[in-house]
């Protein structure tokens, strides 16, 4: 039935489905009831009134067989509309063009109401530790720009990895402190990380953001004789596989820009801390730690440690 979506043949549970979209608007696709692809608005950074086609690709694992793929295409600024969605199931050679008849919003009215209600706290967005596995991954919604902090062994280059309580592999002691609840209040968090690989070093992290459109401030302090063996790494990029563009301005400040929705869609997030572009195109910086070291990071503007405190 046109517009109701369809089940892709061969997409059994556990197979990988590659969706690639080329759109001069916005593509959103649901597999079953789950949002599987969200390209965001595709508009050139230099001419925001003129739509261009930008490809977006995502690989997802099919949770269960027989799930419907339904897509919505919207947000065109002017014709001619350019849109193509290809779906390729793992093991199949050729991608399947998705019929244009599927590209219609197909959520039931009751679902729309539920999703609108569920997403209400996110409409304002803001910085928070939205990503699950790593407690030092700060994500700004709705743009999904992330600032990730990592501890690195200087001698080996080994990274501590995702930080959360009760790590089973490569253990370290993680002590969470206070944390704000959601984006309806100013964001703050505090967490201490210590005893990684037997190193006598405690690293205390505090972060806050005073408003929904305000920048993020992070304070990092390290204590212990072993801290000189560690480095702090900060990386800026987009979360959840979203496409992003990194720019380095003349003053060396790196900006991360992702497509998004609404009035705030094209405000770039600045990462004054970054010194280099990472291999995947993000912004990255390294800092030495030591006993009594105090570091400060801020998004959007250059601030001293004292100002961040």
Whether residue 80 has a cis bond before it, omega within 30° of 0:
yes
Q: What is the DSSP track for 30-99?
A: EETTEEEEE------SS-TTS---EEEEEEEE-SSTTPPEEEEEE---SSSP-EEEEEEETT-SSPEEPP
* Residue 35 beta carbon to another protein: minimum distance, rounded to whole angstroms: 5
> Could you say which residues in the range 230-249 bind another protein, by CB under 8 A?
240
Is residue 138 within the footprint of another protein (CB under 8 A)? Answer: no
Scanning 134-142, 150-158, 200-208, 212-220 for contacts with another protein by CB under 8 A, the matching segment is: 134-142
- Whether the CB-CB separation of 47 and 29 falls below 8 Å is answered with no
- The least distance separating another protein from the CB of residue 138, rounded to whole angstroms, comes to 12
Work out which of 128, 194, 235, 299 binds another protein, going by CB under 8 A: 128
The contact pattern for another protein, residues 22-61, with x = CB under 8 A and - = no contact, is -----------xxxx-x--------------------xxx
Applying CB under 8 A, the span of 39-47, 161-169, 258-266, 282-290 interacting with another protein comes to 161-169
Establish if 114 lies at the interface with another protein (CB under 8 A).
yes
Cα separation, 237 vs 146, whole angstroms? 5
The minimum distance between CB 164 and another protein, in angstroms, equals 4
* Element spanning 218, H or E: strand 217-223
Cα gap 225→231, rounded to integer Å:
14
109 sits near another protein (criterion: CB under 8 A): no
Can residue 181 be called a binding residue for another protein (CB under 8 A)? yes
Determine which residue in the list 15, 77, 84, 180 makes contact with another protein, applying CB under 8 A.
180
Show contacts with another protein in window 264-303 (CB under 8 A).
Answer: none
Among residues 2, 3, 55, 63, which is the contact residue for another protein, using CB under 8 A? 63
Footprint of another protein on this chain (CB under 8 A)?
14, 33-36, 38, 59-61, 63, 114-115, 117-122, 128-133, 135, 139, 141, 164-168, 176-182, 184-185, 189, 240
């Amino acid at each position: 039935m046109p517009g109701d979506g369809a089940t892709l043949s061969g997409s059994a549970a556990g197979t990988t489905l590659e969706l690639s979209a080329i759109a001069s608007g916005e593509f959103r696709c649901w597999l079953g009831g789950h949002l599987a692809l969200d390209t965001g608005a595709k508009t050139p950074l230099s001419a925001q009134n003129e739509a261009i086609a930008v490809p977006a690709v995502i690989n997802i694992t099919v949770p269960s067989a027989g799930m419907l793929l339904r897509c919505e295409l919207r947000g065109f600024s002017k014709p001619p509309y350019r849109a193509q969605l290809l779906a390729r199931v793992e093991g199949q050679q050729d991608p399947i063009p998705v019929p244009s008849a599927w590209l219609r919003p197909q959520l039931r009215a009751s679902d729309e109401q539920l999703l609108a209600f569920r997403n209400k706290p996110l409409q304002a967005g803001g910085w928070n530790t939205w990503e699950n596995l790593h407690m030092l991954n700060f994500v700004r919604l709705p743009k999904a720009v992330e600032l990730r902090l990592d501890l690195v062994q200087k001698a080996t280059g080994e990274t501590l990895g995702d930080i959360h309580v009760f790590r089973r592999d490569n253990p370290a002691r993680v002590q969470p402190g206070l944390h704000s609840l959601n984006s309806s209040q100013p964001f703050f968090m505090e967490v201490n990380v210590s005893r990684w690989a037997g190193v006598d070093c405690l690293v205390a992290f505090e972060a806050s953001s005073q408003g929904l459109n305000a920048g993020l401030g992070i304070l990092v302090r390290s204590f212990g004789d072993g801290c000189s063996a560690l480095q702090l790494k900060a990386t800026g990029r987009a979360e959840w596989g979203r496409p992003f563009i990194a720019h380095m301005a003349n003053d060396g400040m790196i900006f991360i820009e992702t497509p998004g929705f609404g009035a705030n869609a094209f405000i770039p997030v600045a990462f004054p801390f970054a010194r280099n572009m990472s291999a995947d195109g993000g912004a990255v910086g390294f800092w030495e730690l030591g006993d009594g070291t105090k570091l400060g990071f801020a998004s959007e503007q250059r601030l001293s440690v004292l100002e961040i405190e």
